[in-house]
Amino acid sequence: MNKIGIVFIIFILAGMGYTAFSFFTESEPGDITQVERLTEEEPIQLDQYIGQKKTILQFVAVPCECCSYSMPFIQEFIHEQDEIEVITVVFYGREREILDKFVNEYEASHLWGVDLDRNLANYYGVSVSPTYVFFDEEGNELGVYPYIIGTGEELGRRYEDAYENYHSGDPS
């Protein structure tokens, strides 16, 4: 066996060992009460929104073409209504790229922060980007929608469907 084959086998075994270790060891979730910001602003205290008003957490990665595509629709949705608070949470990316996207490209005027240690994303089982987690005004988690949203109307409709299904007792 050559050296490359040995290195490859060691790499595979190390990966399997790490996966097994992660699976069998329980780690405590980190802070899920706030979302840090990359700007000088204070962290977003999630309990000021979740449990106070209808809320959507939008989880995105930078870069993510689907997220970039949907960001104008998200901002349109935010500006056209005031009943539902949308908070964008970046759970993957480099700080410099994130700032460039949200400040320069998106010109984001809504709440957004970062969860680069993935405490919040892991807590809600988010593994793909974009993913939307819906909450009612009492803080009940209404559902998770891990797909691209194409319009502001679609986001509103997805939220209302989750709200109605939760409150009617329909598990779908």
pTM of the model: 0.80
CATH superfamily label, 34-168: Glutaredoxin (3.40.30.10)
**pLDDT tier at 167, thresholds 50, 70, 90:** very high
pLDDT of residue 88: 96
**Sign of CA pseudo-dihedral 63, 69, 75, 78:** negative
Q: Is 55 helix (H, G, I), strand (E, B) or coil?
A: strand
Q: Is it the case that residue 26 has pLDDT exceeding 80?
A: no
Question: Domain segments of the chain: what residues?
Answer: 34-168
Query: 58 - beta bridge partners?
Result: 88, 132
**pLDDT tier at 8, thresholds 50, 70, 90:** low
